[in-house]
Structure 1
Amino acid sequence: MAEYEACILGLKMAIDMNVYELLIIRDSDLLIHHVKGEWAVKNSKIIPYVQYVQNLCKRFCKIEFIHTPRIQNELADDIATIASIIKHPYTDYIDPLDIELKKHLVHC
């Protein structure tokens, strides 16, 4: 879920900055294939996240997801570490994603 929330926050920031074309490079193969619709989502808790990301993706003229293996993602890990210790000036504008799970499936 943390991977999806990070992706959602990044997409929202790009939308707020009026970005029209976006290249997303992630080390989560699962997230990328879920969002592209290439793999079925088996965990019911993840379905709302995938749908939310897919809806946000519609706001871009062009968006592409690329997978990079974790072993080749050392720079991203370093940047994430630095980002986690710096207060971002736009944090007041980032709303947390609140997902409520119902006891019954949507189609019931």
Structure 2
Amino acid sequence: MAAKLRFNCTNNMAECEACIVGLKIAIGINVYELLVIGDSDLLIHQVYREWAVKNPKIVHYVQYVQKLCKRFHKIEFRHTPRIQNELADTLATITSMIKHPNTDYTDPVDRELKGHLVHCSHVEAEPKGLPSYFDIKKYLEFGTYPEDATSNQKK
């Protein structure tokens, strides 16, 4: 199965969306035991709660994946590097080549996901209520960093 996301999102958001679509398909066909093979080591460790979710835009995605996992009797996530995952690479290539004739078309899966908190439009809010580019714009205009900026953030 291949799905094409028809909205702008980060790679991590796309990984989560793909995982959610796959889990929902498995649930829809009454799968009770599932092996999820993915190339996002980050997502797998976050789903297993081994790594913290630091990006506020991803929190709701990971929580929703964890919620869907509870629908299975047994579920295992296994990391496979993209270079070794020929099937995923082939599906991604094929999907990127498919052009829908109607540019206003919205996939049914996308429409279905919009009702849940996992969709990117629900996680765009910034913690301080400011746009995500605010600190960058302030730096470009005045050459100043936020008071709480770490050395990594300044880079």
Shorter-chain TM-score tier = 0.7 to 0.9
Q: 1:104 to 1:61 in 2, by over 3 A?
A: same
Q: Tell whether 2:77 aligns with 1:65.
A: yes
Match of 1:51?
Answer: 63
- Number of matched pairs: 101
Q: Do 2:35 and 2:75's aligned partners in 1 also have CA atoms closer than 8 Å? A: yes
The correspondence for 1:9, drawn from 21, 25, 32, is 21
1:103–1:77 CA distance, 2 compared to 1 (3 A): closer
5+ residue gaps, structure 1:
none
Shift of 1:103: 5.8
Q: Distance in 2 between matches of 1:18 and 1:83?
A: 26
2:4 paired residue number: none
What's the CA shift string for 1:49-103, capped at 9, x where partnerless? 000000000000000000001221123210333356499xxx64x3124352456
* SS of corresponding position for 2:113: coil
- Aligned pairs for 1:1-108 (under 5 A) are 1-83=13-95, 85=98, 92=108, 94=109, 95-97=112-114, 98-99=119-120, 100-101=122-123
Runs of 4+ more than 4 Å apart: 102-105
Q: Distance in 2 between matches of 1:86 and 1:10?
A: 22
Residue equivalent to 2:144: none
RMSD (Å) for aligned C-alpha atoms: 2.3
Q: Following the alignment from structure 1 to structure 2, what is the Cα–Cα distance between the partners of residues 6 and 75? A: 14
Structure 2 vs 1, CA of residues 86 and 61 (structure 1 numbering), >3 Å: closer, same or farther? farther
C-alpha separation in 1, matches of 2:72 and 2:95? 25
Q: Greater relative contact order (Cα 8 A, min sep 6): structure 1 or 2?
A: 1
User: Deviation digits for residues 15-52 of structure 1, max 9, x if unmatched?
Assistant: 00000000000000001000010101110110000000
Percent identical pairs in the alignment equals 67
Partner of 2:141: none
